[in-house]
Amino acid sequence: MIRVLVIFQSLYWIQGITGANDVHQPNTLWVKVGQSATINCSHTKDATHNQMYWYRQYHGESMELIVVNFNKSKFSAIKSVSESGSFTVNDVNYNDSAVYFCSLCSVIQNPTDLIKKQDEFAEIKCAHTVNNYDRILWYKHNQDTGFQFMGYIFNESPNPEADFKSKVKFSGDGRNNGSLTINSVSVNDSAVYFCAAYYTVL
């Protein structure tokens, strides 16, 4: 994952955040306004993982898939071999301040936004169609705590992290569809939540 943060008027800081050991992105890039920022992504999976997806997430908003439908004068994506690819943001400016990251599979998450009253519950759904992937992982991100791993559902078995056991519920099947339910929401639950598909290493 790549976070683009505004440091001051003429410089941008691009920081890499990786969520798994088999997908690699750069840690830090310094980019001046008007220059191009190229983010490289590689993986150590087999050659059947020949597709790469690029996402963008603005602060406080949901992720959006941008490699499929993007302005070609602003963005460009290259993938000449199955193991690696790159994504370039041209003419960097303030509006490009966001989190960028690559993925080896397409995961659909909905709804894009939720507004809830205190003590209500919130449900977020996640679906994927990746063969042999049997886990759906859930993450929480906010400005104060950064990224937090909430837990996962393996096949039909939920496995929440200790800090989230009393707060959330995982349901569904990690092989295709799952959901995250947040019980009795409060101000502390205001964040961006996202899911990822993964597989069991034997």
Q: For 68-120, write each residue's pLDDT tens digit.
A: 545 678 888 887 777 777 888 899 888 887 777 777 666 788 887 888 999 99
| For residue 13, pLDDT beyond 50 | no
Query: Is the pTM of the predicted complex or chain greater than 0.85?
Result: no
**Distance separating alpha carbons of residues 79 and 41, to the nearest angstrom:** 10
**Distance separating alpha carbons of residues 74 and 37, to the nearest angstrom:** 11
The two tokens of residue 103 are 């993925």
Rounded to an integer, the average pLDDT of 23-34 is 68
> For residue 91, what are the CA distances in angstroms to 11, 36, 59, 108, 135?
12, 5, 20, 30, 38
C-alpha 101 chain-centroid distance: 6
**Closest residue by Cα to residue 124 from 199, 59, 177, 197:** 177
Q: What is the pLDDT of residue 1?
A: 37
| For residue 53, pLDDT beyond 60 | yes
Confidence of residue 186 (pLDDT cuts 50, 70, 90): very high
Where do we find the tokens 């009253």?
A: 117
Please count the residues of the chain. Answer: 202
Rounded to an integer, the average pLDDT of 109-137 is 88
- Higher per-residue pLDDT: 154 or 196: 154
The two tokens of residue 201 are 């290493």
Rounded to an integer, the average pLDDT of 38-44 is 78
Which of 6-15, 42-51, 142-151 has the least mean pLDDT? 6-15
CA dihedral 39, 12, 149, 66 (to 10 degrees): -50
Laid out side by side, the sheet with 168-173 consists of 107-110, 122-128, 177-182, 168-173
- Residues 17 and 194: beta-carbon distance below 8 Å: no
Q: What is the pLDDT of residue 176?
A: 93
My answer on whether omega of the bond before 26 falls inside 30° of 0, hence cis, is no
